């Protein structure tokens, strides 16, 4: 029975798919500075190349998510072909509605109808781009909100939001879904227009069945029970996916599982009993080596998922039905304390990936080669 269970864990772990973000490979920083790294990609094609290296090492990162206009190109067919030639597929499309100066007071909730129209046109254009890239999802996060009481009419902003997204949803082809993220603060300090999972869920229910909530692990107040949110959204059929990261204080974009690995395990426990939703890493590595940080992130996700698959659900159910409070807790701890590194290494090897991805990356000289090649090509181009 144990062998059968282990085989099932290996099978499901081998089917895990993590999307890595194109924006996680480029330059990033804090509010105070951007820190360039040697060998950083110079365009979206090189960001895809780095994503392919992460997949080669881990066997699990077979999709790459894009952000527009950051990843805009003239020929999206050529970009799709490049992605597929690297053994990847296109993940979610992420429109950018937070950097244009016109969006200082909001995008789809802006008081000015002209600004709202500009925002909607960008969202609809991203639906077209997703079609050309054969992406199946629009992943939406809005920085919209207000900094002071009285700055704008909160109810009117909600109506504008629903009206805009209804127009976008009507443009979605049948093979695309809409994932709606939320964030309880920042950059708006008084009221964000999509502040929590309930705010997003209510909009999704108005839009239709292909609108679902996206959970970002960094977008919650301290102490929020994220795994309970996951359970509730999954129960309602509205859990669209995740943006994985970790944090200590707020939306810190730390490597997923680096600060609170037990929370990550509990989230995967809620997911492990059913088909997995879209799983995307959303991290901006400021001081860490970017490809290595992404590799470690994927490894942490593999291990959290493997531990969740090891939970003895029959024993857990028996303890729960008997009212055995600590017995149920111990069942979870037994799985969480299991060293799953050997089984994860074996699964990666079976996928043709590295048993120890971080060690192989460091030993391969990939970072050094990319730094030398990309710097030389940049210097040559300037010459």
Q: Per-residue pLDDT tens for 47-57?
A: 999 999 999 99
Q: What is the pLDDT of residue 3?
A: 58
Domain that holds residue 85: 2-382
Q: What is the CATH number of the domain that holds 96?
A: 3.20.20.150
Distance of CA 375 to CAs 47, 58, 153, 274, 292, Å?
A: 15, 27, 51, 46, 19
3-state percent helix, strand, coil for the chain, nearest multiple of 5: 50, 15, 40
Residue whose structure tokens are 């969006």? 103
DSSP E strand stretches across 277-342: 278-281
Distance CA 247, CA 192 (A): 20
DSSP E strand stretches across the chain: 19-21, 63-68, 89-95, 137-140, 145-146, 177-180, 191-192, 211-216, 239-244, 278-281
Distance CA 174, CA 242 (A): 22
Q: What is the pLDDT of residue 40?
A: 87
Q: What is the distance of C-alpha 244 from the center of its chain?
A: 5
What stretches in the chain show pLDDT beneath 70?
A: 1-4, 29, 31, 378-383
Tell me if the pTM is above 0.75.
Answer: yes
Q: What is the pLDDT of residue 383?
A: 41
Q: What is the pLDDT of residue 1?
A: 41
Q: What is the pLDDT of residue 208?
A: 98
Q: Decide: 203 and 180 in contact? Cβ < 8 Å.
A: yes
Question: What pLDDT, in 10s, does the model give residues 112-137?
Answer: 999 999 999 999 999 999 999 999 99
Distance CA 61, CA 359 (A): 17
Q: Structural domain tally of the chain? A: 1
């Amino acid at each position: 029975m144990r062998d059968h269970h282990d085989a099932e864990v290996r099978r499901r772990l081998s089917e895990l798919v993590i999307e890595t973000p194109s924006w996680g490979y480029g330059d990033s920083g804090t509010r105070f500075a951007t820190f360039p790294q040697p060998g950083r990609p110079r365009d979206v094609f090189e960001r895809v190349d780095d994503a392919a290296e992460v997949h080669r090492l881990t066997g699990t990162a077979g999709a790459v998510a894009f952000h527009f206009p950051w990843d805009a190109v003239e020929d999206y067919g050529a970009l799709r072909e490049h992605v597929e030639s690297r053994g990847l597929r296109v993940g979610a499309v992420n429109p950018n509605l937070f950097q244009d100066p016109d969006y200082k007071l909001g995008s789809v909730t802006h008081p000015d109808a002209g600004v709202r129209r500009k925002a909607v046109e960008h969202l609809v254009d991203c639906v077209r781009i997703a079609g050309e890239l054969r992406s199946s999802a629009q992943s939406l996060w809005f920085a919209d909100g207000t900094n002071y009481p009285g700055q704008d009419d909160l109810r009117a902003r909600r109506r504008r939001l629903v009206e805009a997204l209804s127009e976008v949803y009507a443009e979605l082809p049948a093979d695309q879904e809409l994932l709606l993220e939320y964030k309880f603060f920042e950059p708006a300090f008084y009221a964000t227009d999509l502040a929590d999972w309930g705010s997003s869920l209510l909009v999704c229910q108005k839009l239709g069945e292909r609108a679902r909530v996206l959970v970002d692990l960094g977008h919650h107040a301290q102490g929020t029970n994220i795994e309970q949110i996951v359970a509730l959204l999954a129960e309602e059929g509205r859990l669209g996916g995740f943006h994985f990261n970790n944090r200590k204080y707020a939306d810190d974009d730390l490597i997923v599982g680096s600060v609170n690995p037990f929370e990550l395990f509990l989230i995967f426990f809620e997911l492990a009993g059913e088909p997995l939703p879209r799983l995307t890493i959303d991290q901006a590595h400021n001081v860490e080596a970017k490809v290595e940080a992404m590799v470690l992130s994927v490894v942490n996700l593999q291990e959290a998922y493997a531990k969740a698959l090891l939970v003895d659900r029959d024993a857990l159910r028996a303890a729960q039905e008997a009212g055995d409070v600590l017995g149920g807790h111990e069942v979870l701890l037994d799985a969480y304390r299991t060293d799953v590194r050997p089984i994860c290494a074996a699964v990666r090897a079976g996928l043709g990936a590295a048993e120890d991805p971080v060690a192989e990356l460091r030993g391969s000289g990939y970072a050094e080669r990319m730094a030398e090649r990309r710097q030389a090509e940049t210097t040559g181009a300037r010459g």
